[in-house]
Amino acid sequence: MLALGLCHRVFVYREPADLRKGFDDLCGLIRSGMKRDPLSDDVYVFINRRWICAISGCNECSKTLRWREQRAGS
């Protein structure tokens, strides 16, 4: 579950991405392909070549990335 408020911006990476990539590789796509800071409070959505199956509930077709800083005491 990903809870978003009105202050969150959502960016979709336009090219199909290899969803087997980890956090570091996806951050590289955000930095190089989108010219954005992955450590911001923005939300980034990646899709693979089979993204159309997401309409039917396939959870292997997209990946969402959002950096949340851990604060002391939380």
pLDDT, position 74: 45
**CB distance 37 to 3 below 8 Å:** no
**17 exposed, middle or buried (CB, 10 Å; 0-12, 13-18, 19+)?**
buried
- With 50 as the cut, is the pLDDT of residue 54 above it? no
At residue 25, φ and ψ (nearest 5 deg) are: -70, -40
pTM beyond cutoff 0.75: no
Could you report the per-residue pLDDT of 7-50, keeping only the tens digit for each? 778 898 988 888 888 889 999 999 999 999 998 888 898 888 76
How many Cβ atoms from other residues are within 10 Å of residue 22's Cβ?
Answer: 7
